[in-house]
Amino acid sequence: MLRLGRREFGPHEPVIMAIVNRTPDSFYDQGATFRDEPALARVEQAVAEGAAIVDIGGVKAGPGEEVTAEEEARRTVGFVAEVRRRFPDVIISVDTWRAEVGEAVCEAGADLLNDAWGGVDPALAEVAARYGVGLVCTHAGGVQPRTRPHRVTYGDVMDDILEVTLGLAERAVSLGVPRESVLIDPGHDFGKNTRHSLEATRRLDEMVATGWPVLVSLSNKDFVGETLDRPVKERLLGTLATTAVSAWLGAQVYRVHEVAETRQVLEMVASIAGHRAPAVARRGLA
């Protein structure tokens, strides 16, 4: 059972996490949701389309202008509070690696801390434990936040992913984070080249077999772009194909830009796998 905020999810229940960037320079939308009203409209649309979680980020993942902890908090804390007020049942996640920002957003009502940089600030897990919120434990290959990998190598990329994420997850639980609120993430593109990310996808069932719920953040990423040689705005089909494979292999949470399209893919895979009945079943029965 996965428990986040007020919600519980069964082992075969896919969960969509919608991305809400509070940055002026995000790689995907170049700041379309930097201001409050467009960002709130994005939350409303995502929830209407089937997202159970909204993931709010105040710093883009890639290199760029420096964003201090104070500025990151300014972009996220008040917004978290307003989302909590307007959407009391939505699960609020915040994408941050900084403990001080994590503390502030938990005070404002966040339910989940999405640590995409693999525990670079060990105190973030302590914050999650203190507030009883969930934590995403990600493999980032040991790279520093907002840096790109350069000639990174692994003896076995999945062995490294498992060692890091399971270590982070067990540490989180030992600190007091509820076990049912901890997720592991292979960290596509983070500390990895395209072949590493493809192998991580191909072997995702090895993460699922650990028993921890697996989150994947695939949406329009560079490994999809390089695999198909497509720019950011032409990566949806590749993203959805990767989503279908990940769903078949047992991933549970999907961090995405396109909620409605992802929901259809997840529902189709769940029905093929026998975990969901067809929405309509008239053919051959009339």
Catalytic residue positions? 221, 255
3-class secondary structure, 137: strand
Measured CA to CA in angstroms, residue 32 lies from 16, 23, 36, 62 at distances of 21, 8, 10, 17
Asked whether the beta carbons of 11 and 214 are under 8 A apart, the reply is no
Q: Which residues contact 239 (CB under 8 A, 6 or more apart)?
A: 218, 219, 220, 221, 224, 256, 258
Amino acid code (one letter) for 267:
E
**Torsion region of 142: left, alpha or beta (phi above 0 gives left; psi -120 to 50 gives alpha):** left
Residue bearing tokens 């695939």: 218
Place of tokens 């990940």: 246
Which of 227, 238, 230, 113 has the alpha carbon at shortest distance from 178?
113
Tell the burial category of 178 from Cβ atoms under 10 Å away from its Cβ (0-12, 13-18, 19+).
Answer: middle
Assign 262 to helix, strand or coil: helix
- Give the residue from 249, 217, 167 showing the smallest Cα distance to 17: 217
